[in-house]
């Protein structure tokens, strides 16, 4: 994919400074040359639905951030009210055989890249973050969320089952008892509830403040040896990463089998209709 490089002047809390910015249609990477922190912004209107292209783009941007020696990665959205609406249901509803395989493989790749990233990661959750959106946020090491939005793994409410590695990300943030209950209920948490339960680490009033708090978190590693930090993080996350690495073919087959069940297709169709009806009203 062609990626256009440009230098831009952007304002921030500490005043205007130069950032190196890489833009594709679906994500933007901006590296602050003062802090060395990269902001990875999802930009797929209308709701940052995670389709094949956005997932591939995310993975490519994560690799780019690791390659350019950034000091950390902040994941956020260009949409003022939606971080990500989760997986693009259109990829799973009446799917094309080859594309849906590529789609799930791209999701596995993006998760492995983000959850296993060697750089410190934080999510500035500047909007709603259901299902796959929550997966992205909980794959990061730190979360700052804006008020009056919702976050959670709502899969059971859609009649689908979150795979083990979705649960791994959730479990790396929440105590097992809370995670199990929330997943079984398909519960969406408001910002206040998420803060109370520990699903997010901090609340912020504005996106700028959220980005600043994420940067402060990443700054806490300034005096830590980066190799020791990265290896320590990888040791903590190795079991979950290795589990998916070693079972990704079976995981794909399980997904395909599940998604092709007539009852699942029917449920997804009804859910899509309800979303479209709601959007019209
Ligand atoms: C045993 C183990 C077996 C393993 C089997 C594995 C099975 C699969 C597991 C899959 C795992 C994860 C699933 C997901 O991530 S599914 C997605 C879940 N997401 C949601 O439920 C969110 C749905 N969306 C919303 O709630 C709202 O849209 C919003 C995000 C709160 C935003 O609200 P809004 O009012 O600002 O926007 P709205 O008008 O609702 O939407 C605008 C248009 O976007 C369409 N849309 C919204 N979300 C999605 C989506 N996720 N996919 C596709 N399209 C979406 C919506 O329909 C509107 O479209 P249009 O303008 O009418 O055309």
Domain locations in the chain?
2-280
| Per-residue confidence (pLDDT) for residue 205, from 0 to 100 | 98
Residues 25-30: what's their mean pLDDT?
Answer: 95
- Catalytic residue flag (residue 72): no
- Catalytic residue flag (residue 87): yes
Distance 3 CA to ligand 1 centre (A): 28
CA distance 97 to 91: 10
Residues 223-252: what's their mean pLDDT?
Answer: 97
| Per-residue confidence (pLDDT) for residue 279, from 0 to 100 | 87
Residues 48-58: what's their mean pLDDT?
Answer: 98
Burial 2-29 (b: 16+ CB within 10 A, else e): eeeeeeeeeebeeeeeebbbbbbebbbb
In sign, the C-alpha dihedral spanning 69, 27, 86, 105 is negative
Asked if the model's pLDDT at residue 2 lies above 80, the reply is no
DSSP state of 187: P
Residue of the nearest CA to atom 60 in ligand 1? 276
| Per-residue confidence (pLDDT) for residue 24, from 0 to 100 | 61
CA distance 40 to 120: 13
| 138 close to 171: Cβ distance less than 8 angstroms | no
Angle formed at CA 248 by CA 169 and CA 109, multiple of 5 degrees: 60
| Per-residue confidence (pLDDT) for residue 11, from 0 to 100 | 28
What pTM did the predictor assign?
A: 0.93
Q: Which one of the listed residues 50, 55, 58, 87 is annotated catalytic?
A: 87
3-state helix, strand, coil in the chain (%, to 5): 50, 20, 30
What is the average pLDDT score of the chain?
Answer: 92
Assembly ipTM = 0.97
**175-184 contacts: CB < 8 A, separation 24 or more?**
182/152, 182/153, 183/153, 183/155, 183/156, 184/156
Contacts of 3 (CB under 8 A, 6+ apart): 22, 23, 24
Nearest ligand 1 atom, CA 81: 36
- Catalytic residue flag (residue 186): no
Residue of the nearest CA to atom 5 in ligand 1? 255
- Catalytic residue flag (residue 158): no
DSSP state of 27: E
267, 275, 276, 277, best to mutate for ligand 1 pocket (most atoms within 8 Å of CB): 275
Residues 232-246: what's their mean pLDDT?
Answer: 97
Nearest ligand 1 atom, CA 132: 15
3-class state of residue 165 by DSSP: helix
| Per-residue confidence (pLDDT) for residue 25, from 0 to 100 | 82
Segment 154-210, tens digit of pLDDT: 999 988 999 999 999 999 999 999 999 999 999 999 999 999 999 999 999 999 999
Segment 86-131, tens digit of pLDDT: 999 999 999 999 999 999 999 999 999 999 999 999 999 999 999 9
| 22 close to 2: Cβ distance less than 8 angstroms | no
| Per-residue confidence (pLDDT) for residue 127, from 0 to 100 | 98
**Edge-to-edge order in the sheet of strand 129-130:** 129-130, 150-152, 189-190
CA distance 224 to 102: 38
Asked if the model's pLDDT at residue 3 lies above 60, the reply is no
* Direct distance between the N- and C-terminal alpha carbons of the chain, in angstroms, rounded to an integer: 38
Using a 6 Å CB cutoff, which residues line ligand 1?
46-47, 49, 81-82, 85-90, 128, 130-132, 154-155, 158, 160-163, 254-255, 258-259, 275-276, 278-279
**What CATH class is the domain 2-280?**
alpha beta
| Per-residue confidence (pLDDT) for residue 54, from 0 to 100 | 98
| Per-residue confidence (pLDDT) for residue 21, from 0 to 100 | 62
Task: Please compute Rg for the chain using Cα positions.
Answer: 18
| Per-residue confidence (pLDDT) for residue 159, from 0 to 100 | 87
Alpha-carbon distance values, 102 to 70, 115, 232 (Å): 29, 20, 32
Residue 22 banded pLDDT, cuts 50, 70, 90: low
Nearest ligand 1 atom, CA 259: 7
Nearest ligand 1 atom, CA 251: 4
| Per-residue confidence (pLDDT) for residue 278, from 0 to 100 | 87
């Amino acid at each position: 994919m062609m990626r256009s490089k440009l230098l831009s002047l952007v304002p921030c809390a500490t005043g205007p400074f130069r950032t190196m910015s890489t833009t594709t249609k679906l994500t933007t990477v901006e590296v602050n040359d003062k802090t060395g922190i990269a902001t990875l912004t999802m930009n797929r209107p209308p709701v940052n639905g995670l389709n094949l292209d956005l997932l591939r783009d995310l993975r490519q941007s994560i690799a780019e951030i690791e390659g350019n020696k950034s000091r950390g990665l902040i994941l956020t959205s260009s949409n003022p009210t939606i971080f990500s609406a989760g997986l693009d249901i259109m990829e799973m509803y009446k799917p094309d055989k080859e594309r849906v395989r590529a789609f799930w493989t791209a999701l596995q790749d993006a998760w492995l890249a983000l959850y296993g990233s060697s750089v410190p990661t934080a999510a500035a959750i500047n909007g709603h973050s259901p299902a796959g959106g929550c997966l992205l946020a909980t794959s990061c090491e730190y979360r700052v969320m804006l008020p009056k939005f919702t976050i959670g793994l709502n899969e059971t409410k859609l009649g689908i089952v979150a795979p083990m590695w979705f649960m791994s990300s959730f479990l790396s943030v929440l105590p097992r008892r809370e995670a199990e209950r929330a997943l079984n209920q398909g519960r969406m948490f408001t910002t206040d509830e998420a803060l109370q339960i520990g699903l997010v680490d901090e609340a912020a009033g504005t996106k700028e403040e959220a980005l600043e708090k994420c940067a402060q978190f990443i700054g806490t590693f300034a005096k830590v040896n980066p190799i020791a930090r990265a290896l320590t993080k990888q040791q903590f996350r190795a079991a979950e990463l290795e589990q998916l690495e070693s079972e990704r073919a079976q995981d794909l087959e399980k997904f395909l089998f599940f998604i092709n069940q007539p009852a699942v297709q029917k449920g997804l169709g009804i859910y899509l209709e309800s979303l479209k009806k709601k959007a019209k009203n």
